[in-house]
Each structure stands twice: as C-alpha cells, then as structure tokens.
Amino acid sequence: METAVARVERIIGNYEGKNQGKLFIVVAGMHGNETTGVIALQRIFGYLHDASPDFNGKFVGLSGNLEAIEQNQRFIHTDFNRIWAEDHVEKTKSLNIDALLTNEERQQKLLMSEIEEIATGYQPQDVVFVDLHNTSSSHGYFTFTFSGKTNLKIAAAIHVPTITGLQKTLSGTAIEYFSNRGFASVAFEGGQIDDETGIEVHEAGIWLLLEIAGCINRSDIPNYENCRQKLCEIAEDFPKLTDLIYVHHIEPKDNFKMMPGFKNFQPIEKGQLLGHDARGEVRAPKNGCILMPLYQQQGDEGFFIIKVIEH
C-alpha cells in the first residue's frame, strides 16, 4: 500500500444529507508529503456514496497544497500551514492570482475561495474544520486545538492526546485562523509520514469526528467499534491532555540537525542534548515531553516541548 498519491483535484469529495446539520470541512495535504488523509477521505466518500447512509448536514473534503502533493514535498516555497495570519489571508484574497509570488499564496487564495463558497449560508458555530497531518517522527498520534468546550469535546472524540496552547507559541496555522472565525477547529496528526497505518488512523478518526459532530449515527459507521478500538490502542500510554510550552524555531541557515531516536511524547529534561546547529549544541530549555522532532529536510521548527495536564 502506498501513501503517495497521484495528482488530485481540490475537492476530494462531498456528501450532503437530507437533514439539517453541521458543515464538516476536512483539508488533507496541507503539507504535500503528508497524504494519508487524502487517501482516507477518498475511501470515506467512496463508502458514503455506495452505502448512502442517513446524514445530517454537509461533509466536504479538500486538498490543501495541490502542487506540493503532486511533487510529494512538504511545500514548494514556504510552509503552507504557517501563512494563515488574518492580514496575510486578506492580502492573498484581495490580489489577483497572477500577482501572488509564491505557490503557497496561490494555493491559499484558491483554497479559501472554495471554503468561503462552501460555507455560504452557514453560521460559524455550525462549521467544523479539520486539518489532517502526519509527523516525521514515530508515535505521532494527537490533535491540536484551542480552549473552549466545543473544541475540546470534538478533539477528545478521537481518543488520542489533545494538545492546547498552540496560539501562545506558534502563529499562522490554519486551525487558528478558522478558530478565530468561529469554526470548531482541530488539527489531527495521524502518524508518521509514509506509514500506511496512518490511512486507517485518519479514516477511523474522521468517522468518530463525524459522529461527535452529529453528522452520522454510530450504527451507520462501518466497523465503528474497530475504529474506536484502534485509536484507543495507539494512544493507550499517552497523556490525554497536554499544553504546548515551547517551539524551537529554525531557519535554513541554522543547519539544524535533530539527534536521532527521539519519539513523540518522550520525556526530556532541561539541559538535555536534543540536536546541533550552526552555533553548536541545542539543549532543552525546559522539562517536559518532546513533540514533533524534525526528521525531514523541510520545516520551520526543530522540535516542540509540551507539559502534561492530564494522564
């Protein structure tokens, strides 16, 4: 089974029920080499159109960075999931596409155009936005979201660790932008890049999110209990809730290299050697657990540190 995909269209699929309900938007491939979510969405829409179960609301799956997906690269010019500050989005929306200098700005304009058209007629509180990702290190099963009863309830439905505090340490993410618009917003990391298990993880997670959003009944989800059990098992030893307390930002000139062997949620101590860069050793500035240690060439963060709130 391959996790790389051929060229895909912007709209991966859509399914609308006869009953009123939430607008459920899922974006996959925001980073072009993180494609298990694309395949998971293709499978889910295939099932929905074949089985035609009762459904409340509307479900749309979108591809994020089409050019990067085609080239199987994280991004072409700049990280697509770091340019969602409100002023930047407004700029790309206002300019003609030919005036936009980077692939990611053009992708943002086109993606936003689709989302705004889809969301026409829906109140912000009736929209759920999910952004699917993978990590370059192992054990990468978790969600990012923001404080608030609705966000935390939706994120918890996947049964993997929930990480808050993103807005304090990392700006420009898509879920922050859509959260500020009033959408319930969650980023769902489905495991390591190129690990085919991530397809099943993302597929299971999307089904559970559709259920918690009230879009589909549990009895209409294929192999519901297997979906729930799979997600519970992969996160069995992980904390339920954590807070992001540090991000190690890097630039290409830093020539940052992570020490090998680190895994997501691995405990670390202040002063522990984590990597090297052009200036020398890079040591942990805080106690905590490591998250998303960088083991790929492209990336703007070398690692994250989280603290456990609830086991």
Residue 110, SS3? helix
Domains within the chain, CATH numbers bracketed: 11-234 (3.40.630.10), 242-310 (2.40.50.100)
Q: What are phi and psi of 138, to 5 degrees?
A: -75, 165
Give the pLDDT confidence score for residue 4 in this predicted structure. Answer: 65
Question: Residue type for 117, please?
Answer: E
Band of pLDDT at residue 6, cut at 50, 70 and 90:
low
Give the pLDDT confidence score for residue 148 in this predicted structure. Answer: 86
Dist. CA 1–CA 196, nearest whole Å: 7
Identify the residue whose tokens are 């090297």: 276
Strand order in the sheet with 280-283: 257-258, 273-277, 280-283
Q: What integer is the mean pLDDT of 189-205?
A: 96
Residue 95 carries which DSSP code? Answer: S
Q: Residue 270 above 90 pLDDT?
A: yes
pLDDT 10s digits, 147-184: 889 999 999 999 999 999 988 888 999 999 999 999 99
Question: Residue type for 278, please?
Answer: A
pLDDT 10s digits, 96-119: 999 999 999 999 999 999 999 999
For 52, left (φ over 0), alpha (ψ -120 to 50), or beta? Answer: left
pTM for the full model?
A: 0.95
Alpha carbon 262 to its chain centroid, in Å, reads: 21
Band of pLDDT at residue 7, cut at 50, 70 and 90:
low
Band of pLDDT at residue 1, cut at 50, 70 and 90:
very low
